[in-house]
């Protein structure tokens, strides 16, 4: 039980780091992935906390995060977030001249797909349950859908999206992550449901 709650606190810490980064963005500060400026370091910290939290919860999650589907989703989310963390560290440590030779796009794509899949699986596992888990699941699914839509529009359709469009898609996904942490910390009971759904 302690490990599950620890995973929840790690996830909430990631949400706090992202929240500060978003506030910097809204007040005119730049936010860039793979940089060593303050906002870039906040993103690094958030990915580390989110990925660590998802890993801990995947191993020792509390109800309603202890079902098979939720645990598979947490594992996929952890792989995606920690892979994005590793890629961000590599980019921050690389010289601008060496970046074009790195396989940034395929690695970023694989990490993003893993994280998106994790959000969807956890969302599906939670949305079937009553109360707070259902709300968190709905936010996770909305965030995953918004991020997928933004990626489809920018990468496949070659559309230039306003910065705030992508920002709000990220806010939804981050809110879902924070909801996962909140469920773990509160160990929200699920009345009338099996706490280990397949």
- pLDDT one-digit tens code per residue, 155-186: 666 666 666 677 778 888 899 999 999 999 98
Cα four-point dihedral sign 54, 60, 64, 69: positive
For residue 170, the model assigns a pLDDT of 82
Residue range 55-75, pLDDT digits in tens: 999 998 778 888 899 999 999
Question: Cα-atom radius of gyration of the chain, to the nearest Å?
Answer: 17
For residue 134, the model assigns a pLDDT of 94
For residue 123, the model assigns a pLDDT of 95
In the three-class reduction of DSSP (H, G, I as helix; E, B as strand; rest coil), residue 158 is classed as coil
For residue 107, the model assigns a pLDDT of 85
For residue 88, the model assigns a pLDDT of 83
The model carries a pTM of 0.82
Say how far apart CA 22 and CA 24 lie, in whole Å: 5
Among 31, 47, 18, 40, residue whose Cα is nearest residue 93: 40
Q: Report in angstroms the alpha-carbon separations of 21 from 25, 102, 118, 125.
A: 6, 26, 23, 29
pLDDT below 50 — which residues of the chain?
Answer: 188-198
Q: Both tokens of residue 46?
A: 């958030």
Cα four-point dihedral sign 165, 52, 176, 105: positive
């Amino acid at each position: 039980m302690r490990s599950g709650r620890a995973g929840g606190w790690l996830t909430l810490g990631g949400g706090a780091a992202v929240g500060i980064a978003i506030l910097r963005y809204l007040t005119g500060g730049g936010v860039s992935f793979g940089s060593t400026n303050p906002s870039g370091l906040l993103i690094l910290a958030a990915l580390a906390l989110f990925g660590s939290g998802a890993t801990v919860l995947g191993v020792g999650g509390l109800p309603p995060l202890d079902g098979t589907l939720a645990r598979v989703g947490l594992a996929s989310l952890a792989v995606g977030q920690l892979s994005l963390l590793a890629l961000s560290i590599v980019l921050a440590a690389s010289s601008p001249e060496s970046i074009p030779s790195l396989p940034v796009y395929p690695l970023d794509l694989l990490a993003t797909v893993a994280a998106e899949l994790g959000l969807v699986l956890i969302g599906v596992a939670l949305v079937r349950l009553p109360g707070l888990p259902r709300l968190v699941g709905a936010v996770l699914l909305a965030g995953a859908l918004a991020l997928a839509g933004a990626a489809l529009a920018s990468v496949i359709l070659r559309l230039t999206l306003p910065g705030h469009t992508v920002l709000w898609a990220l806010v939804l996904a981050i809110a879902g992550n924070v909801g996962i942490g909140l469920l773990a910390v509160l160990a929200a009971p699920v009345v009338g449901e099996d706490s280990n759904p397949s």
